[in-house]
A = this chain, B = another copy of it.
Amino acid sequence: MRQLKLSKAFTLVEPGPVVLVTTHDGDKGNIMTISWTMVLDFKPVFAITTGEWNHSFAALRDRRECVIAIPPVDMLDKVVGIGTCSGADTDKFARFKLTAVPGRVVRAPLIKECLANIECKVVDIVRKHDIVVLEGVAAYVDPARKEKRTVHAVGDGTFVVDGRRMDRRKLMASKIPEGL
């Protein structure tokens, strides 16, 4: 994996792909599937919706760090599988044959098979709305990963795969931070 400029990390999350979020509780790593994500600025700051109903929430709350990993479409069945079992009784890295790679800043592991990974610190937990605010502290992409299309959850059990890309950089020049 190649390090990515942190200023570009929000472009991994903004299009709305389903992501995998890893945590580490001090003893072992775990993974959850999250499609409820939001970018909070033209910065590596993100919100995700999670709470007590996710086993990973305790590690996120207590350790205050995680990794957002971006899976491409060829991982869809693993993504769905991860989202429909619990770390309470399952070692998801083993069950889904995923490779945990140590991060540089946080103890939550990167996922080698993913397109990109963002190491994050928890900035705040807005309990009233079950929103966790994260700040990216390091980001990586795997340029060698051939499948680059991500997948978007509709929420009803169907998913939409990335189609073609359209360029409106010139029209949006006034809004986009320099260097993107």
Q: Please list the residues of chain A having a beta carbon within 8 angstroms of any beta carbon in chain B.
A: 8, 10-11, 14-17, 35-42, 47-49, 73, 76-77, 80-81, 83-84, 124, 126, 128-131, 133, 149, 151-176, 180
Q: Which residues of B contact A39 (CB under 8 A)?
A: 35-36, 49, 155
Interface majority SS (helix, strand, loop, mixed), chain A: mixed
Q: Is the CB of B162 within 8 A of A158?
A: no
In angstroms, Cα B76 to Cα A93, docked, is: 40
In angstroms, Cα B33 to Cα A174, docked, is: 14
* A70 to B: closest C-beta gap in Å: 12
Q: Which residues of B contact A48 (CB under 8 A)?
A: 38
Considering residues A14, A17, A37, which has the most beta carbons from chain B within 10 angstroms of its beta carbon? A14
A129-B40, A133-B129, A165-B158 known; A152 and B15 CB under 8 Å?
yes
Q: Is the CB of A171 within 8 A of B77?
A: yes
In angstroms, Cα B152 to Cα A168, docked, is: 12
Q: Is the CB of B11 within 8 A of A156?
A: yes
* A88 to B: closest C-beta gap in Å: 15
Q: Is the CB of A38 within 8 A of B42?
A: no
Q: Is the CB of B155 within 8 A of A11?
A: yes
Q: Is the CB of A157 within 8 A of B167?
A: yes
In angstroms, Cα B167 to Cα A160, docked, is: 9
